[in-house]
Amino acid sequence: MSIVAVTVTALLALAGALTLVRIIRGPSILDRAVATDVLLAVIVAAIATEAAYSRDATALPVLVVLAVLGFVSSVSVARFAARKKDAK
Amino acid sequence: MSADGVLDTLAAICLIAGALLSVAAGVALARFPDLLFRMHAAAKPQVLGLLLVLLGCALRLRNGVDITTLVLVGAFQLATAPVAAHMVGRTAYPHHDIRRDLLLTDEFAPHAERIGADRDGAPRPSVPAAAPQER
């Protein structure tokens, strides 16, 4: 199981790094919002992998909070961007 | 091989498949040319990868309370990802730089024109007036 844990950690780190590239380079704020959503999903996957590796369910309520938080952040950024463009 | 070993192997396969799908979503985010393409990567492979990781975690924990929590996380993800993607796309459509030459069909263009006419009294110049092509 430790080989699986190392593999999954490396893959998730690669996914997070590629997502960070898009957050840094993204031309518009909506690109960054989408990339931040994906980064949050990668973090949820990492926490779930840690819980599966150590058979420890302590961190599972954090996953529920993060799943809701990603939705709220993405929707609020979309609303904010729309309002700013309309006022212009 | 015992039942525990079989379940752990299945959990490992699910975890690795989910991580690979996350990498696919990351590669797509870094390389796709347009916000709409990137939204596709964020909405579909990422959610499937996360669900596979949660399934692997549930197979490994094998506990009623923990499985309920993981099902809750997956249900939230499935319910909220389409709504978030819809709102981002709807916000991005009239204003941002969308590669309209890469679109196969644009069924939203007549609606956007009508909405712009309702709002401003005149069609928005940023929305092309071309009718969607039948395919």
Q: What is the pLDDT of residues A62-81, one digit of tens each?
A: 999 998 888 888 888 888 87
CA distance A2 to chain B (A): 10
User: How many A×B Cβ pairs under 8 Å?
Assistant: 162
For residue A88, what pLDDT is reported? Answer: 45
Mean pLDDT of A37-59: 92
> Quick check: is B9 in a domain?
yes
Closest residue to A15, CB basis, from B22, B65, B96? B22
Give the tokens for residue A38. Answer: 């994906």
Sign of the Cα torsion A74, A76, B81, B75 reads: positive
Q: What is the mean pLDDT of residues A28-56?
A: 91
ipTM of the complex: 0.88
Instruction: Please write the tens of the pLDDT for every residue from B124-133.
Output: 555 555 555 5
Task: Please state, in angstroms and as integers, the Cα–Cα distance from residue B80 to each residue in A74, A87, B16, B74, B86, following that order.
Answer: 10, 28, 24, 10, 10
Query: What are the tokens at A68?
Result: 């809701």
Pick the most confident of A83-87, B19-23, B40-44, B126-130. Answer: B19-23
Q: Is residue B69 part of a domain?
A: yes
Nearest residue in B to A82, CA atom: B91
Of A11, A67, A77, the CB nearest to B19: A11
Average pLDDT over every residue of A8-21: 94
C-alpha pair distances (Å), B64 with each of A38, A57, B60, B61, B68: 28, 11, 12, 9, 6
Domain of residue B63: give its range.
3-119
Please report whether residue B63 resides in a domain. yes
B71 lies in a domain?
A: yes
Number of domains in chain B: 1
